[in-house]
Structure 1
Amino acid sequence: MKARETKWVLCLLITALILPMQGVAAGSAGDAQTVNAPPAIAPEIGDYGIEIKSGEDLYRPEPEIPDVSAYSRDAVEARLASRPDTPPNVTVERIGDVSALGDFVDEGRAREWVIRQFSHPQAILINRGKVTLDDVYRQVNDQRYMERTDDGTYIIRLPLAVRQDATLVMRDQTLRLSEERGAFIANDGWLFAIDSKIVGWREEADGPATFQEEGSFRPFYVGWGGSENFILGTTMANLGYLQSKSYGFTVAQYSEYDNAKLKRKAPHAWLIDSTFEDLYYGFYCYEAEDVAIVNNVYRDNIVYGIDPHDYSSGLIIANNEVYGTREKHGIIISREVNNSWIVGNRSYNNGLSGIVLDRQSSNNVVANNVSYDNQGDGIGLYESPDNLLWGNRVMNNLRNGIRVRNSSNVDVYHNVAVLNGTWGIYGQLKDLSATDRNFKEDFYDYEVSMRVVGGELVSNASGPLSTDNPAYIALYDVGMRFPRSEVGIHFEGVLGKYQMQIFDALRNQSRAVFIEPSAVVSGQVTQAEN
């Protein structure tokens, strides 16, 4: 049997031993010259104290998770039925003063379309009505701009914009976006893609516009502020490149300057039962709300699989399969993406980590996910306090099972970390002042603190658990079996100092351990009463 197969057999055996898991236990760019305040000096190991007492203070109920059955085919069809059935109005015009296209002709970007169209840039504008691709084709009525093949596939050779009061409906159709002619979709109104395909297309090769390099134009999709975007049972492929709002599939609020005039609400999107492949970013959003990403497949995307960003909130990322991301993370939320749920996903074989919370993303629930075979951590929290990790399984990741970096008040409840390349759980203090981070926008506290309750930390290469000098750490009912080290299960740092007391409390007494700086805990070891 090959070594990899042997490792997976061991993983399965260990997982079988510890699952089903126990129920609820009782008891970026910017001003590089702006620098953060120097980090506080972390306490020496000797400055800590330990308390051993009942675990009842660590009890918390299972988190409430939204019912994703609300995001269904029937619900999408109901939204579509609610749109007024008014006559279609489609024109081909110079891009001019069209809000949905403004970002792509400002700051020199218009040159891209002048070169590709050989003239002043034009676009297909869906101005009013509930419009199908057949309607668009009839009203454009020009093979130079839109063509239909014998099998009913459409190809467009201009940007296509859905204006604010219009609705575009695709059902059981294939739409190809010409790479050579600079086609893309910009939705400023309502768009429904149901059981369809939207594909970046390389006409010269008569094939998909597969990724070549980050700066090379590829068609893309963007839904702007106030837009409603519904993707159901649809494949989106071969889209996106490294340009603002051109990443692949994007929903984004207008800039603060533009929205002072436009006064649009946050964009919304439901992505359900669909497939996203070979996109530069499989999903990206900016200041979005009411986003549901449910039951999709994200495979072989370039930089990120799912990447909600910048001040988005109330997101549901549930029951997706995310794998094969080439460069970075399978799922990442970054820069104050708050009050959201990442639940029931499988994220594996990604270029870095499976799931990441980044840059002050707080009050999120990461629950019941499986993250394995990633080249980074299974789950990483970077500068993101006040989050809950519940019931996740992280297995065979190259680095840590769970990493908590510069993040405080993190609850790690009933998680299983098996066969990871370093620690099962790693609490890390890291000084970022030498980086190019904008610390006015991306501030952080040089602090780690967490409560680890329930679950199993099994056969991880460096050991079950390690943390740099924490503001506090609490442990209760944590299983730590099958050490891979010849020296057995061991801790380092402040945990190493109290290793025997920790093991005795957890294994022999079934009590909780609280370790804090000695200014908080009086005395080195206290056996507290019930």
Structure 2
Amino acid sequence: MNTTTAIFIDSGTLGRASGEIPRTSRSRHLLVFLVSVLALLIGACATPPDPLPRRDVPADAPVDPAKPCSREVTSTSPSAPADSSAIDVQFDRASNTITLTRGENVSIPMLSDAVNDSLVREVEPGTWLLNANISVLGGASLHISSPDVRWLRMASGGGRFTAITAIGGGIDVEGSCITSWNEDADQVDDDYKDGRSYLLARDGATMTIDDSELRYLGSGDVESYGLSWRTAGTTGHIAHSVVSHLYYGLYSYEIDGLQVTDNEFHDNVLYGVDPHTHSRNLLIERNVVHHNGKHGIILAEDCADSVIRNNIVYANKHHGIVMYLHSDHNLIEGNESFRNAAQGVNINESSDNTIRNNKVYDNTDSGISITQTARDNSVEGNEVRGNKKDGIRLVSESAHTTVRHNTIGRNGRYGIYIDTVSGFDLAKNVIFGNRIGITARGEKADEDDNQVFDNTQGATMSQ
């Protein structure tokens, strides 16, 4: 309890300074006064909520560049064409590209049989080296799976690299490990600056990845980020897989309905998961996203109507989860975002998003930030604790933010910090153990309908 208050009431003199008040009216005024005092004392003596269970941040396990594949290989039973006559394959020496124009579920061994084996060869049982690009056109699909292909090494290094691209066709990866490979160094290509091998689906293609590993792929060149789905009509999913040391862990452009579930994205050069530019109706669920070079998960530039749910996002080198530039009508629910180098959740120039029932704690900057021209966002039922700066920030030109039923405790500066000229709605929040509970610039800090207590320098402050 911050203060102890002694209150003495003389009911016989109550109100006489302004003239005699009838006894019934005096009684009514006395009752209202007592109820108000009781509410104040209860708020001042409120008991802090139970401690928030926190996850430890495990050490970032190193990946051996010479032996990057670490998971148990899952044996699969791919369905393949009945015979080689079902396949139509061409090779163009000038572009060093194998083009698959006909054939469903064509395996790497079958492709090797159809071309010169120096282009696709088995270097040891279950390990294959790809020395040419593969292009899969509409009406054909490539199936990369164990036990035939436990590890696919894509030649890469010294500015030379290979790519697997579906242009209207299909790529299915199941139970395999795919990496870049520098034969001269006898390890993966760990230098992305001069180009590096990658996977890409575009122009109405389908790419699915299950129970697999993708490591050390991609560069900063457009379409070459490592693992990408691009252009309208392209679709697919990635599930139960590990993606590490790519340029972007995952990138999409104008994609509808991509599903990203139960994966681990870590140590990617920039973002872990980056749906971009008019990607929508995405499901990003139950992933573990950590130690990436910038944000963990970011939806950027008109990414809408998507669900980011039950992910564990930590130790990324900037924000944990970001909605940026008109990424509207998204649900961010049930995630844990912690120990990131900046904010746990950042909503920037994006509107009509719901940030609900997340645990956002121990981030180096603030917990949840609604900023720039973000409008009509709702922050509901979150646990926002132990962040080094503020619990929740409503700043810049953000407007009409609803902040309700959150527990906001023991943040380093303010529980809620408001520096915006437009309206906001604060109600039913529990705000405790911060330096100041609620701070507002330009508007009165209102603690009505919130429990604000045990803040070391005061409940509210207006500036």
- Normalization by structure 1: what TM-score? 0.67
Residue 234 (str. 1) matches residue 212 (str. 2): yes
2:108 aligned partner, one-letter code: L
Bigger helix fraction? 1
In the alignment, is the contact (CA less than 8 A) between 1:90 and 1:140 conserved in 2? no
In the alignment, is the contact (CA less than 8 A) between 1:191 and 1:228 conserved in 2? yes
After TM superposition, the structure 1 = structure 2 runs for residues 438-453 of structure 1, keeping only pairs within 5 Å, are 446-453=397-404
1:242 aligned partner, one-letter code: G
- SS state at 1:137 partner: helix
Separation of aligned partners in 2, 1:504 and 1:284? 44
In the alignment, is the contact (CA less than 8 A) between 1:369 and 1:391 conserved in 2? yes
Q: 1:399 offset after TM fit, Å?
A: 1.0
Aligned to 1:195: 175
- SS state at 1:207 partner: coil
Instruction: Work out which of the residue numbers 154, 158, 173 in structure 2 matches 1:177.
Output: 154
Change (3 A) 1:490 1:386: closer
After TM superposition, the structure 1 = structure 2 runs for residues 49-88 of structure 1, keeping only pairs within 5 Å, are 87-88=85-86
In the alignment, is the contact (CA less than 8 A) between 1:18 and 1:456 conserved in 2? no
Instruction: Work out which of the residue numbers 104, 108, 112 in structure 2 matches 1:133.
Output: 108
Aligned to 1:357: 323
Aligned to 1:120: 94
Q: 1:120 offset after TM fit, Å?
A: 2.4
Aligned to 1:73: none
Aligned to 1:419: 386
After TM superposition, the structure 1 = structure 2 runs for residues 460-471 of structure 1, keeping only pairs within 5 Å, are 460-471=411-422
In the alignment, is the contact (CA less than 8 A) between 1:90 and 1:124 conserved in 2? no
Separation of aligned partners in 1, 2:97 and 2:448? 71
Q: 1:490 offset after TM fit, Å?
A: 4.5
Q: 1:209 offset after TM fit, Å?
A: 1.4
After superposing on structure 2, the runs of 4+ consecutive aligned residues of structure 1 that deviate more than 6 Å are 83-86
Q: 1:171 offset after TM fit, Å?
A: 1.5
Aligned to 1:473: 424
Q: 1:247 offset after TM fit, Å?
A: 0.5
After TM superposition, the structure 1 = structure 2 runs for residues 97-496 of structure 1, keeping only pairs within 5 Å, are 120-130=94-104, 131-143=106-118, 145-172=119-146, 173=149, 174-180=151-157, 181-188=160-167, 189-210=169-190, 212-213=191-192, 215-253=193-231, 265-326=232-293, 328-405=294-371, 406-429=373-396, 446-483=397-434, 485=435, 488-494=436-442
Aligned to 2:27: none
Q: 1:361 offset after TM fit, Å?
A: 0.5
Q: 1:467 offset after TM fit, Å?
A: 1.6
Q: Deviations over 1:327-375 (max 9, x none)?
A: x100000000000000000111001000000010100000000000101
Separation of aligned partners in 2, 1:85 and 1:15? 64
In the alignment, is the contact (CA less than 8 A) between 2:322 and 2:345 conserved in 1? yes
Separation of aligned partners in 2, 1:324 and 1:301? 8
* Cα RMSD for the two superposed structures: 2.2
Separation of aligned partners in 2, 1:18 and 1:194? 39
Separation of aligned partners in 1, 2:384 and 2:404? 13
2:165 aligned partner, one-letter code: A
Residue 506 (str. 1) matches residue 454 (str. 2): no
1:91 aligned partner, one-letter code: V
Change (3 A) 1:340 1:171: same
2:261 aligned partner, one-letter code: V
2:441 aligned partner, one-letter code: G
Separation of aligned partners in 2, 1:506 and 1:16? 18
Deviates more, 1:120-129 or 1:380-389: 120-129
Separation of aligned partners in 1, 2:211 and 2:451? 50
Deviates more, 1:303-312 or 1:134-143: 134-143
Q: 1:503 offset after TM fit, Å?
A: 2.8
Q: 1:190 offset after TM fit, Å?
A: 1.3
- The structure number with the bigger radius of gyration is 2
**Structure with more contact order per residue of length (Cα contacts < 8 Å, sep ≥ 6):** 1
Aligned to 1:31: none
Aligned to 1:10: none
Separation of aligned partners in 2, 1:16 and 1:123? 61
Instruction: Work out which of the residue numbers 51, 60, 65 in structure 2 matches 1:17.
Output: 51
Q: 1:380 offset after TM fit, Å?
A: 0.3
Separation of aligned partners in 1, 2:394 and 2:233? 35
Q: 1:462 offset after TM fit, Å?
A: 1.4
2:89 aligned partner, one-letter code: T
Q: 1:150 offset after TM fit, Å?
A: 2.1
Change (3 A) 1:16 1:216: farther
In the alignment, is the contact (CA less than 8 A) between 2:408 and 2:431 conserved in 1? yes
Q: 1:421 offset after TM fit, Å?
A: 1.7
Separation of aligned partners in 2, 1:504 and 1:290? 42
Q: 1:151 offset after TM fit, Å?
A: 2.1
Q: 1:417 offset after TM fit, Å?
A: 0.9
1:202 aligned partner, one-letter code: N
| Residue correspondences, number | 375
Separation of aligned partners in 2, 1:85 and 1:269? 25
In the alignment, is the contact (CA less than 8 A) between 1:410 and 1:450 conserved in 2? yes
Aligned to 1:91: 89
Q: Deviations over 1:30-87 (max 9, x none)?
A: xxxxxxxxxxxxxxxxxxxxxxxxxxxxxxxxxxxxxxxxxxxxxxx99x87x98785
Aligned to 1:106: none
Q: 1:160 offset after TM fit, Å?
A: 0.7
